[in-house]
Structure formats: C-alpha cells, structure tokens
Structure 1
Amino acid sequence: MALCGRIRSSGLPLLQKFLKSDLISAHGSGVQRSLLCPALSFSEFSRNYATASVAKEGKVKVPLVLFGGAGNYASALYIAAVKANALDTVESEILDFLEASKRSDNFSQFMKNLSVSRGVRVKALTAICSETKFSDVTKNFLVVLAETGRLRNLESIAKKFLDLTMAHKGEVRAVVTTVIPLPTEEEKELKETLQDIIGHGKKVKLEQKIDPSILGGLVVEFSQKVFDMSIKTRSQQMERFLRDPISFGNP
C-alpha cells in the first residue's frame, strides 16, 4: 500500500483539476482574488500548529514519539485532528492534497519556491482549501506550512502523520522492496510472517516498492528494522569478502 494509495476518490479529481488550472503559476502570480478568503491570523495558526504545548499533549496522547521538524508538525496536526474528532477526514485530505500537487508541475514548483512571498503562498493555499471544501483543521495546517515556508516538507510530514494515524488504529506499516511486484501468494505469505513477528495485537499494512537497483531478492522494513536480503547487498558483501586478505595463521 503506497503512501498516496489511501486517497478519497470523491475529492481528488476536483483538486487535481484545480491545481492544473491557471489559478497558480510557478511564481504565484495567477492567484485569483475572487476565490480568496479573508485574511488569516499568522500568529494564531502558528501557535496552534507549529508548536504543541505540554497542556495539549496531556489531553491527547500521541501514539508515537517523533523527532525533527517533520515529526513536530505531524504530531501537532495529529493532536488538532483528534481534538476535532476529524482524524480520518484530515488524513484523507492531506493525502488528497499531496497526490494532486504531485500531478501539477506548476504547483510543485510553487511549493518549493521560497522566493514566493508569504502573502501569496497563504492566499493560494486559502483559495485551494476553500475551493475543495477542506476541513478547518486541514486548511489551517496547510496555511501554517505556507506561512512558514514548509510546504516543500509536506511529503515528509505526511509520512510521519500517517505513521501516527496507523499507530492510532493499531496498524504497522511494512515496506517490502523488490525488483518486480510480488505474486499474490508470496505477498500473502510475507504478510503472515510479518504478522507473526509483530504480534496479533497489531495489523500489518504491507506496502510494495519497486527498485530494479537491488537486482533481486527483497528488502523488508518495519518498526525501524531493516532486513536486507537483496542480491545487490549480498554481492557487495561477497565482494568485500573476496577483497579481504586471507590469513592462514601459523603452521
């Protein structure tokens, strides 16, 4: 299951159409003023999302401890979504937005371009969220990212946020990397094996990734563990072994 595989079918086409339009150019010059909402309070949104107070965390327990800037933003979004009883909605909207933005070259450039003024970024995101009827939690969060110049980090934030939502549901994501897609039977066997390892108190969600560079075999990652059984790694290990001098010891 890919990160963006959990996309709502209802909202995505509209969002894609919106981002592919001329509403937003690479430099933000195409924002239509008629779609803009009233001005937003930067400081208020920053307080709500960029930092999570100890008091808030005391009310909503974050299921995983995340580190770094992306982890802090993901945790703050999780807290806000849970407090609003909108965790599934926010998850779906964030993934919709990320998937649609990837399909728009102009908007992808817009998200990464820090030379675009803060005001233009905020107006653009406000317009998008209004047009697509995003929830207040999602809208406010995306506006904060626009304000702080962190839209370019949305994918890493979304991945960590998804880790939190999966932990909330008792799910564990396992990523298996292969050269070609696993046959259905092998995928089922691998999932059952991982389920035995992780335990039956949690549910395994298997995500497949294709990477021809590993040459063959597979790499499995879950719960911060990596099992590398790829031909590439085994070949490298064999190469190092053959290059090491052989000591026969004393006769």
Structure 2
Amino acid sequence: MSYVIVAKRYASALYQVANENRLVDQVGADLQLVSETLAKTPEFVTLLQSPKVALEEKKELISSAFTQVQSITKNFLSVIVEGRREEALAEISKEYTKLADDAKGVLEVVVTSASSLDDAERDGVTDAFSKILGRQVRIQEKVDKSLLGGLVVQVGDRLYDGSVKNKLERFQDTLKETRVG
C-alpha cells in the first residue's frame, strides 16, 4: 500500500513546525536517522506495528531508541505512533526531504549506473547537472548491472539515458531500419 498522500500531509505539518523553530536541517537529519534505524532493524519495526504492543510501550520504545533527536522530532514520532502511521515513516522522511530541498533550491537527481560511482565520478555528475539545471543537486545513487556501463540520470520527469545498453539498443534499431529501407 502506498502512503504517499498520508506522508505528504505529515511531512508538510512537520516541516512547518521545524521551519517556524528554525530546525529544518536538524529535524531532517533526525528523520534520516530514524529511517536508517528502521531499515536496519526490522524487528523494531515489527514491534512498532504490532497491535499487541501497547501504545505507551511503543512511545517508550521510540523515546529510548532516539534520545539524541530534537524534541520536535520526538513529539512528531509520538503523534505518528498515536495515529498508527508507523508504516509511513520512511515515506514521510522522503517527503520531508523533498520539502526541505525545494525550500533550499536543491534538486534531487537519481543516478543509475552499472556499478557504484567513486568520489570523482559522483562530483563530476553533481557539477555537470548543477550547471545544466542551474540549481544545486543532491544525488541519489542506484546500481543496475544490466546497464553495462554509462549512466541513466532522472531529474523529476526527465530522463537522460547515456547508458551503454541504451546506445546498443538505438544502434540495433538503426540497423533494423537500414535493412528495412
């Protein structure tokens, strides 16, 4: 089930409170920590989502697990637990990051490559797309070994496909057209 609509509402509310308190970056870092923790500990997620675990016990689990986060974030996590929206936390974190990035003029760029980028390649892609788009970019990396080489870069709805796989497919199409014509 997709929690995008719910996530957008919660993220928007949290962003407004964080912005009013000038804690946008800190709360964003808190949400990143929460998301990473939940991704690494599925048993913790199971406890949070279990109907057998009492609401107060869930709040105590979150409070003890995330002692270093801002009070705004702790209160927000309590609201999430009370509303039984624990399953939407990862999506809320993504939506919050989008709101914070938009406010700062940062654009997320998804870069898919055949293997992990090294620092120089990552910096090169970041610089190139910052110049092309006229905005600061933040790269989210993905690896897809079927690409063979090159990069596929997604910026919102736009796709820049410079993969070897795509070039070979275009070359094959050109050969087919040549034979037919």
Q: TM-score, normalised by structure 1?
A: 0.59
Of 67, 76, 79, the residue aligned with 1:144 is: 79
Contact 2:114 2:144 survives alignment (8 Å): yes
Counterpart residue number, 1:219:
152
- Paired with 1:242 and 1:112, the residues of 2 have a C-alpha distance of 55
> Superposition pairs for residues 50-89 of structure 1, below 5 Å?
68-89=5-26
Change (3 A) 1:135 1:227: same
Contact 1:114 1:149 survives alignment (8 Å): no
Of 115, 121, 124, the residue aligned with 1:189 is: 124
> Superposition pairs for residues 5-154 of structure 1, below 5 Å?
68-113=5-50, 116-129=53-66, 132-154=67-89
* Per-residue deviation, residues 137-183 of structure 1 (Å, max 9, x unmatched): 10111111112222122111111111111222222221211111234
The amino acid across from 2:78 in the alignment is: V
Change (3 A) 1:194 1:125: same
Q: Which has the larger radius of gyration?
A: 1
The amino acid across from 2:154 in the alignment is: E
Counterpart residue number, 2:137:
204
Aligned-partner SS, 2:115: coil
Change (3 A) 1:117 1:228: farther
Structure 1, unpaired ranges of 5+: 1-66
Aligned-partner SS, 1:110: helix
Aligned-partner SS, 1:204: strand
Counterpart residue number, 1:179:
114
The amino acid across from 1:172 in the alignment is: L
- Paired with 2:148 and 2:48, the residues of 1 have a C-alpha distance of 35
- Paired with 1:198 and 1:188, the residues of 2 have a C-alpha distance of 15
C-alpha RMSD of matched pairs (Å):
3.1
Change (3 A) 1:138 1:183: closer
How many Å apart are 1:225 and its aligned residue? 2.3
Identity of aligned residues (%): 28
Counterpart residue number, 1:230:
163
* Per-residue deviation, residues 106-165 of structure 1 (Å, max 9, x unmatched): 213224445544443233224434xx1432210111111112222122111111111111
Q: Would you say how many aligned residue pairs link Structure 1 and Structure 2?
A: 177
Contact 2:108 2:155 survives alignment (8 Å): yes
- Paired with 1:241 and 1:148, the residues of 2 have a C-alpha distance of 56
Structure 2, unpaired ranges of 5+: none
- Paired with 1:203 and 1:82, the residues of 2 have a C-alpha distance of 20
Counterpart residue number, 1:168:
103
The amino acid across from 1:221 in the alignment is: Q
Larger strand proportion, structure 1 or 2? 2
The amino acid across from 1:84 in the alignment is: N
How many Å apart are 1:233 and its aligned residue? 5.0
Larger helix proportion, structure 1 or 2? 2
Aligned-partner SS, 1:134: coil
* Per-residue deviation, residues 12-38 of structure 1 (Å, max 9, x unmatched): xxxxxxxxxxxxxxxxxxxxxxxxxxx
